[in-house]
């Protein structure tokens, strides 16, 4: 009898805690405060020295802020997308040539992502507890805390893409909001060119899982969205045609990305063609890679396509190794931290291990939730099927890795959505446990 009373009391306390978490107006501000405080503390006490991509972005942004345009070594460039350097340049114009502006931009992006995590959960009617739980999971996510201290494009680019997704989801076929979504998708495309391919997947999942979103609304959404997207992108394409001599849509690094995952030396992960025996096959003098970037892009694409045609089975099988490389670990955020604070290497080893466990937990729970959404869509259970929309970005990242290359950081845009999916799985498992307890108590 005493054991039964204790279990009953524990069940009541659990229900009260969940109710408080779901309804208290203080919870959401507290989650935002925790998320931003952890990231600010990381930036203040563990400053990261810019290197690699981040250093390149900052140098180009500084030149743009000074009026030199988007160039490298005195030559116009479009090798990396202009969107993120342009945003950094704007922050430097306002706050001066320091890391303050870029880090403030990252913090604003974090706040926007947290708000959008809540918005997606509410819009898809997953439940307030799931939205708040997902926001908390993201707030505490170690690698995404560390990322804020770097001038890496992932933090801001993901926030912009999520905003575009939210607008398209809210539009439900209405022209005005679809146009607005397209404009934001245009900005996202100038930051990450592969975003150009994302809207059709999102629209297809909306058509598959949302009531009253038929093919006519899907068609209107797609046409309006892409029309507005091109209004943003095409002026940059025209600039490239003038200064590079070719109508490069966004950037000239597509050949590098494709060839990194389509050559005889590729292992599915990070690959630098310029440091491999394959570089000589391009016929490009490495010292002239900026001046000759358009031709370099063309030749690398041709090399990759020729290899795929000659080795279709090898390329197909390599795709699964790319996916494994994409999702296998979550350590990219700590590379710069290791380099900037090498004296704490044993500590970072432990932190990375803890982050990996956290990450794998998100993946396992998220995969469970997305499988539930997929089954609901298959059975036309429209109450649960919209959960599959959360999988749009994870599915997209996986497809890109299969076709191009499976670098670890390329799963970054999927993780806010995996937090939502993980929170759904936790809530589902918690409900099942409570039902089992209720049955046991009744018995």
pLDDT for 130: 96
Convert the pLDDT of each residue in 123-175 to its tens digit.
999 989 999 999 999 999 999 999 999 989 999 999 999 999 999 999 998 99
The per-residue pLDDT for 397 is: 97
Q: Kindly indicate the confidence band of residue 382, based on its pLDDT and cuts at 50, 70 and 90.
A: confident
pLDDT above 70 coverage of the chain, percent: 95
Helix (H, G, I), strand (E, B) or coil at 383: coil
CA distances from residue 261 to 176, 220, 273, 394 in whole angstroms, order as listed: 39, 35, 10, 19
The dihedrals phi and psi of 76, each to the nearest 5 degrees, come to: -55, 145
Q: ∠ at Cα 268 (263, 273), nearest 5°?
A: 45
- pLDDT at residue 12, as a whole number: 64
User: What does the pLDDT read at residue 292?
Assistant: 93
Q: Rounded to an integer, what distance in angstroms lies between the CA atom of residue 384 and that of residue 166?
A: 19
Q: Please give the Cα distance from 104 to 37 (Å, whole number).
A: 13
Give the separation between CA 433 and CA 420, rounded to whole angstroms.
20
Closest C-alpha to 325, from 392, 388, 401, 413: 401
In terms of pLDDT, which residue wins out, 383 or 307?
307
pLDDT, mean of residues 305-317: 97
406 and 324 Cβ atoms separated by less than 8 Å: yes
Confidence (pTM): 0.93
Which SS3 state, helix, strand or coil, does residue 311 take? coil
* pLDDT digits 0-9 by tens, 253-283: 999 999 999 999 999 888 888 889 999 999 9
Which of these, 70, 53, 50, lies nearest to 61 by C-alpha position?
A: 70
Does 191 score more than 60 pLDDT?
yes
338, containing H or E segment: helix 333-340
For residue 141, the model assigns a pLDDT of 98
Summarize the confidence of residues 58-69 as an average pLDDT.
Answer: 94
List the beta bridge partners of residue 75. Answer: 72
Rounded Cα distance between 123 and 131, Å, is 10
What is the rounded CA–CA span in Å between residue 381 and residue 208? 11
238 — pLDDT class (breaks 50, 70, 90): very high
pLDDT at 7 over 60: no
- Helix, strand, coil % in the chain, rounded to nearest 5: 80, 0, 20
Nearest to 274 by CA among 302, 246, 296: 296
CA-based angle 193:262:76, to the nearest 5? Answer: 40
pLDDT of 16 > 80? The answer is: no
Portion of the chain with pLDDT greater than 90, in percent: 75
Q: Is 173 left (phi over 0), alpha (psi -120 to 50) or beta?
A: left
């Amino acid at each position: 009898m005493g054991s039964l009373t204790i279990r009953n009391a524990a069940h009541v306390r659990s229900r009260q805690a969940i109710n408080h978490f779901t309804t208290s107006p203080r919870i959401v501000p507290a989650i935002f405060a925790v998320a931003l405080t952890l990231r600010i503390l990381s930036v203040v006490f563990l400053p990261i020295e810019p290197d690699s991509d981040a250093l390149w972005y900052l140098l180009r942004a500084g030149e743009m802020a000074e009026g030199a345009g988007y160039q490298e070594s005195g030559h116009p460039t479009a090798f990396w997308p202009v969107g993120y350097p342009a945003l950094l340049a704007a922050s430097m114009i306002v706050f001066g040539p320091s890391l303050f502006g870029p880090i403030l931009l990252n913090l604003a992006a974090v706040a926007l992502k947290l708000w959008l995590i809540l918005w997606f959960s509410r819009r898809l009617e997953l439940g307030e507890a799931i939205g708040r739980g997902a926001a908390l999971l993201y707030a505490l996510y170690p690698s995404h805390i560390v990322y804020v201290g770097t001038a890496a494009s992932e933090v801001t680019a993901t926030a912009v893409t999520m905003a575009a997704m939210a607008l398209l989801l809210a539009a439900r076929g209405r022209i005005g909001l679809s146009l607005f979504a397209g404009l934001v998708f245009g900005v996202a495309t100038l930051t990450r060119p592969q975003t150009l391919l994302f809207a059709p997947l999102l629209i297809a999942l909306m058509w598959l899982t949302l009531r009253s979103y038929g093919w006519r609304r899907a068609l209107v959404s797609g046409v309006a969205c892409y029309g507005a997207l091109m209004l943003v992108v095409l002026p940059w394409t025209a600039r490239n045609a003038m200064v590079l001599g070719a109508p490069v849509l966004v950037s000239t690094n597509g050949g590098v990305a494709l060839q990194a995952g389509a050559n005889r030396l590729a292992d599915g992960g990070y690959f630098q063609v310029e440091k491999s025996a394959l570089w000589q096959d391009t016929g490009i003098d490495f010292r002239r890679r900026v001046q000759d970037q358009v031709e370099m892009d063309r030749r690398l694409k041709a090399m990759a396509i020729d290899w795929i045609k000659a080795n279709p089975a090898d390329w197909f099988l390599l795709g699964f190794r790319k996916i494994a490389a994409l999702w296998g670990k979550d350590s990219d955020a700590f590379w710069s931290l290791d380099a900037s604070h090498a004296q704490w290497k044993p500590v970072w080893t432990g932190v990375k291990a803890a982050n990996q466990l956290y990450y794998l937990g998100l993946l396992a729970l998220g995969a469970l939730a997305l499988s539930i959404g997929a089954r609901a869509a298959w059975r036309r259970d429209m109450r649960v099927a919209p959960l599959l929309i959360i999988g749009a970005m994870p599915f997209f990242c996986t497809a890109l890795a299969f076709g191009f290359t499976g670098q670890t950081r390329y799963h970054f845009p999927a993780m806010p959505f995996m937090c939502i999916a993980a929170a759904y799985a936790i809530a589902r498992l918690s409900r099942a446990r409570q039902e089992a307890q209720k049955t046991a108590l009744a018995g």
